[in-house]
A and B are shown apart, each in its own frame.
Chain A
Amino acid sequence: MIYQGKQKIWSEYQKEIPDDKWFYVRSCIRQNFFPASEKMLMEICRNILKKDFYETEHHTTCGGIAYHCDTIPQETAMTIVARQFALMTEAGYENYVASCITSFGNYTEILQTWHEFPELEARIREMLWKACRKEFNKPKYLAHSSDLIYKFRNLIAEKAKFRLVNRETGEPLRVVEHIGCHYAKMFPSKGVGGAEYPYVLAGMVESWGGNVIDYPERRHCCGYGFRQYHIKANRGYSISNTHKKFESMEPYRPDMIITNCPGCPYFLDRWQYVIAEMEGKTYGAGGFGIPVFTYEEVAGLVLGYDPWDLGLQLHQVAVEPLLDKIGIPYRPEDKYKGLDRKDIMRPGLPENMKCF
């Protein structure tokens, strides 16, 4: 691997990321899968970086899942998106930030489509007006929320209490980074670092002390792929793709996986349990899995937030071995206590993959 070769490519794919004043839209599913990730993003942006970070309760789904599952036509998805832009315009913002990769892809695709076919944009404006009497400006900048954390990765590193380093050996942790397909594969120039060797997560890992692993199936899909998973008959494809990735990264003995998509961490995490049940195989050391995180969770960990406040108890793969490796303190007895120490009950433990 020639690191300078990658640096050269990264230097060619840099995008302008606004410094402040963001209009923020959430992901449909992230709060269920990784409940504290978006909370952490707000915490970092508002309270640590002291940025103007606006969100409104009136925004809806971007329609991305329905669009990618072929249940709504693109015009419908476009009108939904137009309404989101109208909310941004009403609130007086120009920088639009999406928390979801598929949303980000959806917005990018729609803006590009309107650029190529202005008559379609005109029609959507008309449809939006008819539907809810709203008008909109297109965002000046479009970013994915991982772009923001990437932009401020060094600031976060300065404030960090922990680094992605093995406390015992002093060695950097071996980190697999996985980028959601819709981040840059459709429009390589819209992603930090491009599509073949994206830098958005690699940059965070480097900045926070870890070592990025480049394994053969790095560019491969996590396995979610909407229709692959949502239609039960296709679920075999979903897990087969995930399995392929784990088989490929296994020789590198990764300590952890960092992701920037709502679906990827979920499937990389949960399918490890299913693979263990089907094949009796686990990919972490000592019968554990490889813990999978969102980038906000990793940011939260290095900034010294309590792992259980970051919602890590909702992960399938046990995170404790990694916390021990870094030296992050946690109270095992508090793992299944929710807000106000309320007992949130303990899940059943799988047979073939070690969990707590």
Chain B
Amino acid sequence: MKEIVVIIGGGIAGLEAASKLLDLGYSPIIVEKSGRLGGHVARWNRLFPDMTPAADIVSELTERTKGANIFLNTEISFINRLRDSYNIKLSNGISINTSYILFTTGFSLFEAEKKEEYGYGVYDQVITNGDLEQWFNTGEDHRISGKEIGHIGFVHCVGSRDEKARNSQCSKVCCITAIKQAIELKEKFPDAEIWCFYMDLRLFGKKFEDFYTKAQRDYGIHFIRGRVSEVSENIEGKVIVKAEDTLAGKPIKITLDLLVLMSGMVCSQDSTKTAGMLSLPVDSDGFLKSSDNVMHITSSPKNGIFYAGACTGPKTVPETLAEARSAVLEIHSHISRK
């Protein structure tokens, strides 16, 4: 009988893992709480640094997982630990016995309204990175479409590197995402002036730095080193942003037509909840704790339980995919050793 692997989460990590498990002859089961596959990536429009359409990635991954058992709109009701395996009860009533569970539960976007001073949900022209991707996809957003957009701001680190928001970690992808989205908006509104407010620019990945210089030189995007302290609305409904230009050592103020908050990555509550059913440890950053952060990032401290992707911390798409493959290989070696 083919070995069953239960994958919790049908985002890109879950899909990639399922496709590789199928290649190796196993029988993966994907349990996805929402009604569709692809997770956050399916809601995104294009991906840095090559502007790859996100839909292409999701459809390719979905195509490759055709042979897997996929339960949509399904949650984990409970997990019982048996002697050498686990019994998983799903919300649709199905019960599965397996020796291997792969957590690909991903992350949640930080709820920007928690940063009350930025006025998301209070001031009309304040949106998030997620809202903007939605607009790239649908072209529908009354805050952008049909509006005169002359000045745009991006706020980096919204809910990241923020101990008061209980997220001290860097969300890693927001710097490059802000630059990507700034370039895309500049293409849509060529006359707009765009300002990125950052604390540090953390452009660690392949071609990220090139992307940054391109944004500066070819797109004329301005970068101000200073965290936005307060947002307000003027009588015309425009947003006024206050920050310190830390390079000039002076407070700076600017009136904008649109402000985009770069919501960071936080561990999803569902992820912690499911991990709680197995008493899996949570790390100091709120994400699931790997048994080791260098050698065994895809292993949990419990036998047969593995992790891949952003459930253990903020990751890029290629990192997530690579981790999914790595976790599959890890599971494969376990099974082979039996």
| Touching chains A and B, CB distance < 8 Å | yes
Q: Which residues of A contact B (CB under 8 A)?
A: 1-2, 5-6, 8-9, 194-197, 214-219, 251-252
Contact (Cβ within 8 A) A1 B113: no
Within 8 A of A (CB), among B113-139: 113, 116-117, 119, 121-124
Most A Cβ at <10 Å: residue of B116, B124, B233: B116
Separation in Å of the B291 CB from the closest CB of chain A? 36
User: Which of A2, A194, A197, A217 has the most CB atoms of chain B within a 10 A radius of its CB?
Assistant: A2
Q: List 18 A-B contacts (CB under 8 A).
A: A1-B122, A1-B123, A1-B124, A2-B122, A5-B119, A6-B122, A195-B116, A197-B116, A214-B233, A215-B232, A216-B233, A216-B234, A217-B232, A218-B232, A219-B232, A251-B234, A251-B235, A252-B235
Q: Which of A5, A6, A196 contacts B117 (CB 8 A)?
A: A196
In the bound complex, CA of A252 to CA of B121 (Å): 22
Query: How many angstroms between the C-alpha atoms of A155 and B305 in the bound complex?
Result: 60
Instruction: Give Cα A197–Cα B121 distance, bound, in whole angstroms.
Output: 12
B43-96 contacts to A, CB under 8 A, are: none
* B292: Cβ under 8 A from any A Cβ: no
Q: Is B329 an interface residue (CB 8 A)?
A: no
How far is the CB of A306 from the nearest CB of chain B, in Å? 36
Q: How far is the CB of B267 from chain A (nearest CB, A)?
A: 22
Q: Residue on A with the closest CB to B253? A: A216
Task: State the CA gap A1–B233 with chains docked (Å).
Answer: 8
B23 at the interface (CB under 8 A from A): no
On whether the beta carbons of A5 and B233 are closer than 8 Å, the reply is: no
Q: Is the CB of A2 within 8 A of B116?
A: no
Give B43 Cβ to nearest chain A Cβ, in Å.
22
* Smallest CB separation, A11 vs chain B (Å): 12
**Which B residues lie within 8 Å of A217 (CB)?**
232
The verdict on A196 contacting B116 (CB below 8 Å), with A2-B121, A6-B122, A9-B122 known, is yes
Q: B235–A5 contact, CB under 8 A? A: no
B232 touches A216 (CB 8 A): yes
* Interface: B240 (CB within 8 A): yes
Complex A-B, nearest 8 residue pairs according to Cβ-Cβ distance, in ascending order: A5-B121, A5-B122, A196-B116, A216-B232, A251-B235, A216-B240, A216-B234, A196-B117
| B230, CB-defined interface residue at 8 Å | yes
The docked-state distance in angstroms from the alpha carbon of A214 to that of B124 is 13
Contacting residues, chain A, for B232 (C-beta < 8 A): 214-219
Q: Point out the residue from B119, B121, B123, B240 that lies within 8 Å of A8, measured CB to CB.
A: B121
**Are A2 and B230 closer than 8 Å at their CB atoms?**
no
Among B119, B235, B240: residue with most chain A CB under 10 A: B235
Contact string, B219-242, partner A, CB cutoff 8 A, digits 1/0?
Answer: 000000000001011110100100
Chain B nearest CB, measured from A219 CB (Å): 7
* Residues of A close to B116: CB separation below 8 A: 9, 194-197
**Cα(A196)–Cα(B122), bound, Å:** 11
In the bound complex, CA of A218 to CA of B117 (Å) = 12
Closest to A2 in B: B122
A2 touches B123 (CB 8 A): yes
**Assembly CA distance A197 to B234 (angstroms):** 15
Which of A194, A196, A215 is most buried by chain B, counting CB atoms within 10 A of its CB? Answer: A196
Return the chain B residue nearest A251 by Cβ.
B235
With A216-B233, A216-B234, A251-B235 as given contacts, are A197 and B240 in contact (CB-CB < 8 Å)? Answer: no
Query: In the bound complex, how far is the Cα of B233 from the Cα of A6, in angstroms?
Result: 13
Contacting pair A2 B117 (CB below 8 A): no
Complex: A215 Cα to B336 Cα, angstroms? 67
Q: What's the Cα separation between A219 and B232 when bound, in Å?
A: 9
Inter-chain CA distance A215–B235, complex, in Å, is 7
CB-defined contacts of B117 to chain A, threshold 8 Å: 196
Bound: A346/B113 CA distance, A:
52
- From residue B69, how far is it (CB to closest CB) to chain A in Å? 40
Give CA–CA (A239, B235) in the complex, Å. 24
B120 to chain A: closest residue by CB: A5
A312 to chain B, nearest CB (A): 29
Closest to B121 in A: A5
Task: Give the residue name and chain of the B residue nearest to A213 (CB).
Answer: B235
Find chain B residues with CB under 8 A from A8 CB. 113, 121
Contacts of B113 in A (CB 8 A): 5, 8-9
What residues of chain B lie closer than 8 Å to A214, measured between beta carbons?
232-233
